[in-house]
Structure 1
């Protein structure tokens, strides 16, 4: 395996909207009204959607600037909502009903991880008691956690990311002072990220009235999560060993074997009708009755890092959500540098606030001590603390911060340390 190497990024200046609807807007929150109680989405997007990230992102239908030299969008897209964005600059290259509030299914686990993952060292052990699993929803995806067994936090996060295990989510939530507290913290973190379409009811994404997100929000959340080293490593892990149940062997000695689990992200692991996508590095898939199939992915090719979110394709073909995602990635990599953006991924509230404080400079680094606990959770470009042993190979972190400049523009100076998996699969 070749040694990982760092990839430098030039500072990208992203102008805010001041003249026309084609320009990007400053990160002012314009959220649509909170959703009414419902267990299934409407058939058409609402007339009034959020305009966070730009006026065009609040409009129904496909938003793209297909000028001369820009490749044509795929014609066979059936998803209710999708978005293609540059993960580093935050430019939204194209979108379709970006702020439509829809059930997110297990893509909600990205917000769960981004909220809870920094709280517990991966070596922390927890013995599962019956109450930890008492309220796991019927028909949930499970990794196979057993009452009375002890698991490390590392084991539990493997269960969350690879098998989308609702049982692992509930155990971690109970460790985090309970389901209600975890939901509260997730909603607070969504507000901090300006993911204002999102309303959490269950931390695992299980169908519930009022539980919604949007393609825009899921992309914001993924972008935030990918600042964390452990998040990147877990979401890019293809297979891992998971502890089984303790049993007696023939000699009467207690033994505990492990079993292999595989990532259910088909662009990462592949399937009979879909290959591993070139340059893929995560992030999270989901599927429930109300949500249909949902997926947010990140991939790198030729030095460009893109995020794509696809929600609920109408076409019922096997693995359709991954096939539509792959087509949008292909378009995005061809269009990058040629297409004028239709909006932007806004930074967290605290990033913009911190950048306006005395001591910020034009190199993308903020002076002064500040509150490291808050910034590690919220600021774009800040990496969470924690080891990386046991999962994948990651590249070293040199995180930047967003700096608020004149006219509402942002200077982004960052290196994106995606896992080595990208380096091995991402070369054309």
Structure 2
């Protein structure tokens, strides 16, 4: 037995290693009871899972992701700084003092810095702090709401409507709904739009994650913990929800919206964004987020499927007219790299779309052609059963370029070619006429 022990140990290790390998599961097997959900790769924008992701639903305090973005943008543009101070209006104070809403209760007549208000908004979802920031950035919450909708359009959010900066129902604002909005209006976002908003926030302003990952806040003499239970909080109340790599992003709850959560986590250099909307409880939104994250991290690996310079077989060249060469080599300008499931490598191919303005009626590209000139686009196509696409349009396409240049032929060669074409056409016409006599 002593002699056989190393062999037995090796067999045991191999068996255990085999047993803990992640099972290759399909998206259909991912059980997400939320009414709407989505999972996105944060680098490429590739959608890895979607369930009713295009239904517009109330996002509750996930609305504040847009408020965070606009505050960050105002800082970047030099309109305010983190140390800029402001005081809270009667409206912001009234909302902050309401114990039914998220917040710690701000003080009137006191100067608060943008940093303090932003942290209160991002960490414990303080509604009064959010309104104070909206009024500081735009002059009024009504004007801030206009900025929110304008920015949503710029980002290309497919489904959105912003009526206030906080995510509360307008009907709950005590008659203080922003000017120009419906007194009974509610914010609306689809899971896809929420994920795209988060995508822009963390890619354009990664410092937002430094705040959203803070475990707690000590402000105005009050100590509160981050509403994101998936962070590494201490204590038994949160231990069951901790998820390695999680560092954001925004929770939400209203009676109409239910419990919502936009989460993001990074492991081994790969970041994912998930959204769950209308879950049954606070616990459920974190449990379902963990399910989505596990699916993304365990089942997908980021691979370069086609490198820059790749040429599709039998489409390596294009015919050239009026040039010193009769053809030009073409290839993709950038590689296609994306997260894929094991075994899916062979389910992708590339399709070309040539810019018709560069071609004559015979499908020939007209010289001169510059090296590196964009002559069309190459699109990555998935041949499998379910493809959820990308969070942003165009992420699956790159430029199709000329690998070498082709100079325009000189006038003498062009003239000889034209003469040759002339007599060739006469000969062809004559042959056709003769054939017609005997037909």
Superposition TM-score tier, normalisation by shorter sequence: 0.5 to 0.7
Helix, strand or coil for the counterpart of 2:266?
A: strand
Aligned counterpart, 1:26: none
CA 1:276–1:175 in structure 2 vs 1: closer, same or farther (change >3 Å)? same
Structure 2 residue 104 is matched with structure 1 residue 133 = no
Helix, strand or coil for the counterpart of 1:268?
A: coil
Shift of 1:143: 2.8
Aligned counterpart, 2:201: 225
Structure 2 residue 244 is matched with structure 1 residue 278 = yes
Helix, strand or coil for the counterpart of 1:326?
A: helix
Indicate the structure (1 or 2) with the bigger Cα radius of gyration.
2
CA 1:321–1:131 in structure 2 vs 1: closer, same or farther (change >3 Å)? closer
Does the Cα contact within 8 Å between 2:39 and 2:49 map onto a contact in 1? Answer: yes
Aligned counterpart, 2:230: 267
**C-alpha distance in structure 2 between counterparts of 1:405 and 1:268, whole Å:** 46
Aligned counterpart, 1:13: none
Shift of 1:230: 3.0
**C-alpha distance in structure 2 between counterparts of 1:89 and 1:282, whole Å:** 19
Aligned counterpart, 1:90: 45
Aligned counterpart, 2:146: 184
Aligned counterpart, 1:77: 32
Q: Greater helix share, 1 or 2?
A: 2
**C-alpha distance in structure 1 between counterparts of 2:291 and 2:51, whole Å:** 14
RMSD: 3.0
Aligned counterpart, 1:207: 169
Shift of 1:137: 9.6
**C-alpha distance in structure 1 between counterparts of 2:375 and 2:273, whole Å:** 23
Helix, strand or coil for the counterpart of 1:308?
A: strand
**C-alpha distance in structure 2 between counterparts of 1:154 and 1:324, whole Å:** 32
Runs of at least 5 residues in structure 2 that lack an aligned partner in the other structure: 1-22, 75-79, 171-184, 304-331, 336-373, 380-393, 399-439
**C-alpha distance in structure 2 between counterparts of 1:122 and 1:130, whole Å:** 23
Structure 2 residue 307 is matched with structure 1 residue 336 = no
Shift of 1:405: 7.6
Aligned counterpart, 1:102: 57
Shift of 1:142: 1.2
Q: Say how many residue pairs are matched.
A: 271
Shift of 1:150: 1.4
Shift of 1:263: 0.9
Helix, strand or coil for the counterpart of 2:187?
A: coil
TM-score, with structure 2 as normaliser? 0.57
Does the Cα contact within 8 Å between 1:136 and 1:170 map onto a contact in 2? Answer: no
CA 1:407–1:210 in structure 2 vs 1: closer, same or farther (change >3 Å)? farther
Shift of 1:239: 1.8
Aligned counterpart, 2:284: 320
Shift of 1:240: 2.9
CA 1:74–1:158 in structure 2 vs 1: closer, same or farther (change >3 Å)? farther
Aligned counterpart, 1:57: none
Structure 2 residue 112 is matched with structure 1 residue 151 = yes
Helix, strand or coil for the counterpart of 2:134?
A: helix
Structure 2 residue 156 is matched with structure 1 residue 194 = yes
Does the Cα contact within 8 Å between 1:69 and 1:338 map onto a contact in 2? Answer: no
**C-alpha distance in structure 2 between counterparts of 1:410 and 1:287, whole Å:** 32
Shift of 1:174: 1.4
Runs of at least 5 residues in structure 1 that lack an aligned partner in the other structure: 1-67, 245-257, 340-360, 365-402, 414-428
Does the Cα contact within 8 Å between 1:156 and 1:168 map onto a contact in 2? Answer: yes
CA 1:137–1:191 in structure 2 vs 1: closer, same or farther (change >3 Å)? farther
CA 1:362–1:116 in structure 2 vs 1: closer, same or farther (change >3 Å)? farther
Does the Cα contact within 8 Å between 2:45 and 2:395 map onto a contact in 1? Answer: no
The CA deviation string for residues 199-245 of structure 1, in whole angstroms up to 9 with x for no partner, is 00111000243421011001000111102033121112112332x2x
The higher relative CO (CA closer than 8 Å, separation ≥ 6) is in: 1
**C-alpha distance in structure 2 between counterparts of 1:412 and 1:294, whole Å:** 32
Helix, strand or coil for the counterpart of 1:218?
A: helix
CA 1:411–1:286 in structure 2 vs 1: closer, same or farther (change >3 Å)? same
